[in-house]
Structure 1
Amino acid sequence: MDPEMEIATDEKALRINLDPAKYGTFAEIGAGQEVARRFFRVGGGAGTIAKTMSAYDMTFSDAIYGRANRYVSRVRLQKMLDHEYDLLIERLDRKFGNEKTFFVFADTVAARSFKERNESHGWLGVRFQSQPRAQPSQIIIHVRLLDEGNVEQQEALGVIGVNLLHGAFYDRQPEKLISSLQENLAPGRIEVDMIKFSGPLFQNVDNRLMSLQLVSQGLTNAVMFKADGETVQPAEVFYKKAILVERGSFRPVTYATNDMLDGARRVFLAQSGCSEDDLIVLMEMTLEHLLAGGQLDHPDFLARVDVLGALGRTVLISRFGEYYRLAGYLFRYTNKPIGLVMGVPSLIQIFNEKYYTKLEGGILEALGRMF
Structure 2
Amino acid sequence: MAMEIILKGDKEFDNIPSIKQKALRINLNEHIYGTFAEIGAGQETVRNFFRAGGASGTIAKTMSAYDKDFSDAIYGHEKDGRYVTEARLKRMLTHEIDLIEDRISRIKHPDKMFFTYANTVATIDFAKRYKGHGWVGIRYQIEPYQKYNDIILHVRFKENDARLQQETLGILGTNLIYGAYYKYNEPKKLLRYLYDHLHQDQLEIDTINFSGPLFEEVDNRLMSLQLVKNGMTDAVMFSPEGKNILPAKVLYKKNILALRGSFRPVTNVNMDMYERSLEMFIQETRVNPDQTQVIFEITLSNLRAEGEIDEQDFMDRAELLCSLGQTVLISNFKEYYKLVEYFSQYSKNRMGLAMGVNNLIEIFDEKYYRHLSGGILEAFGKLFFKDLRVYLYPMQNEDGTITNSENLKVHPRMKELYKFFKYNGKVVDITNFNKNVLNIFSRTVLRMIANDEAGWDEMLPKGIAQIIKKQKLFGYKPKQLVEKNE
Asked if TM exceeds 0.5, the reply is: yes
Q: What does residue range 24-103 of structure 1 map to in structure 2 within 5 Å?
A: 24-68=34-78, 69-94=81-106, 96-103=108-115
1:182 is paired with a residue of what secondary structure? coil
Q: Please point out which of 125, 139, 146 is paired with 1:134.
A: 146
1:183 corresponds to which residue?
196
8 A Cα contact 1:244 1:339, kept in partner: yes
When the two structures are aligned, how many residues end up with a matched partner? 367
What do the CA deviations read for 1:137-168 (whole angstroms, capped 9, x no partner)? 00000011111111111111011101111110
1:214 aligns with 2:216: no
2:327 corresponds to which residue?
314
1:84 is paired with a residue of what secondary structure? helix
Structure 2: which 5+ residue stretches go unaligned? 1-14, 385-486
1:327 corresponds to which residue?
340
Over aligned residues, Cα RMSD in angstroms?
A: 1.5
Displacement of 1:310 after TM fit? 1.2
Q: Please point out which of 170, 176, 181 is paired with 1:164.
A: 176
TM-score (norm 1): 0.96
1:198 corresponds to which residue?
211
One-letter amino acid of the counterpart of residue 61, structure 1:
S
* Larger RCO (CA within 8 A; separation ≥ 6): 1
Q: Distance in 1 between matches of 2:327 and 2:205?
A: 20
TM-score (norm 2): 0.73
Q: What does residue range 208-357 of structure 1 map to in structure 2 within 5 Å?
A: 208-357=221-370
What do the CA deviations read for 1:23-70 (whole angstroms, capped 9, x no partner)? 001000001111011111111111110000001110001111111221
8 A Cα contact 2:341 2:382, kept in partner: yes
8 A Cα contact 2:296 2:327, kept in partner: yes
Q: How high is the sequence identity, in percent, across the aligned residues? A: 51
8 A Cα contact 2:200 2:232, kept in partner: no
2:119 is paired with a residue of what secondary structure? strand
Q: Please point out which of 83, 106, 117 is paired with 2:129.
A: 117
What do the CA deviations read for 1:305-364 (whole angstroms, capped 9, x no partner)? 111011101110010001111111111011222211111111111111111111111111
Displacement of 1:82 after TM fit? 0.8
What do the CA deviations read for 1:48-103 (whole angstroms, capped 9, x no partner)? 10000001110001111111221111111111111111111111143554111000
Structure number, greater radius of gyration: 2
8 A Cα contact 2:131 2:160, kept in partner: no
Displacement of 1:235 after TM fit? 1.0
Q: What does residue range 4-23 of structure 1 map to in structure 2 within 5 Å?
A: 8-23=18-33
Deviates more, 1:145-154 or 1:5-14: 5-14
Q: What does residue range 147-158 of structure 1 map to in structure 2 within 5 Å?
A: 147-158=159-170
Q: Distance in 1 between matches of 2:110 and 2:231?
A: 41
8 A Cα contact 2:32 2:115, kept in partner: yes
Displacement of 1:370 after TM fit? 1.3
